[in-house]
Amino acid sequence: MSKVAFLFPGQGSQFIGMGKELYERESVSKRIFDEADEALETKLSSLIFEGDAEELTLTYNAQPALLTTSIAILEKFKEAGITPDFTAGHSLGEYSALVAAGAISFKDAVYAVRKRGEFMNEAVPAGEGAMAAILGMDAEALQQVTDKVTEEGNLVQLANLNCPGQIVISGTAKGVELASEQAKENGAKRSIPLEVSGPFHSELMKPAAEKLAEVLDACELKDTNVPVISNVSADVMTEKEDIKAKLIEQLYSPVRFEETINKLIDEGVTVFIEIGPGKVLSGLVKKVNRRLKTIAVSDPETIELALQTLKEEYGNAE
């Protein structure tokens, strides 16, 4: 039987109105949005459904909003009796993957990612850090560029190793600018500055990681029910002590997404279900291996389609 992995998206996939139809139609999903409002003592659901797009994009709003929407969708899979063989997420999405794997409660997770967003926002003043996507260059060659720029006094490093030919760099604004220029001089096809509020997954996030450690100390972490592939190591993590350490390290380490997908392929996964708004991760999976089956689910219609497909083709629904 084919193995199935649930994938959960990170920042950038959010949009106003995501999950609203689920909230209105599905009681199990509505409960998740209500729980988020209660845990954060704010009407996060109102911001998600009819708020201001710029306000939703702020990292401390986007993170809990995406986690909440993803878990509201996940509830429909749980209701149908579907358990994945593995879970994984992209950056913030790793928290959704851990909720799905039973390692952390939704209530603890939504609080933790709100604080994570606040700490990330505070770590580097706006305008001092940056991120950029470098297209058409391999990791080794790009690493040489970022190492050289960093040695010359402008910190920049690989942040997201997404898929062949797409790597995001992160660091000081000057470091990212210089590395982008030098990458193009060394054969990169394009450099695209990202609209983000800080240099995520770089050493500049270490102050945020220290504060996050205290928040995670207050959360009840458990060993996972199903294996989760870590962003930091692109390997299986199941034990609570390892999970906490990896979540802290994740803030200033690269997201090894391409390696994560290859690890899942090695483990026998052939079906990847993206649970959350957008289709970003499905696109990245296809760039790693075109033959893989991807299903992006974000609303009642796509959930129904996914459940039907799993039932018919893979026998994963009870």
Residues with catalytic annotation?
91, 201
User: Would you tell me how many other CB atoms lie within 10 Å of the CB of residue 226?
Assistant: 17
Torsion of CA 94, 176, 114, 110, to 10 degrees: -10
Helix ranges, 92-230 (H): 93-100, 106-123, 139-151, 173-185, 206-217
146 forms beta bridges with none
- Strand 129-135 and strand 190-193: the pairing is antiparallel
CA distances from 312 to 164, 300, 306, 317 (A): 32, 18, 10, 9
Q: Which helix (H) or strand (E) holds 248?
A: helix 240-250
Which of 111, 219, 199, 190 lies closest to 157 in space, CA to CA?
199
Residue 127 CA to residue 130 CA, distance in Å, equals 7
CA distances from 111 to 61, 71, 135 (A): 11, 14, 35
Residue 211 CA to residue 190 CA, distance in Å, equals 36
Residue 98 identity (one-letter amino acid): L
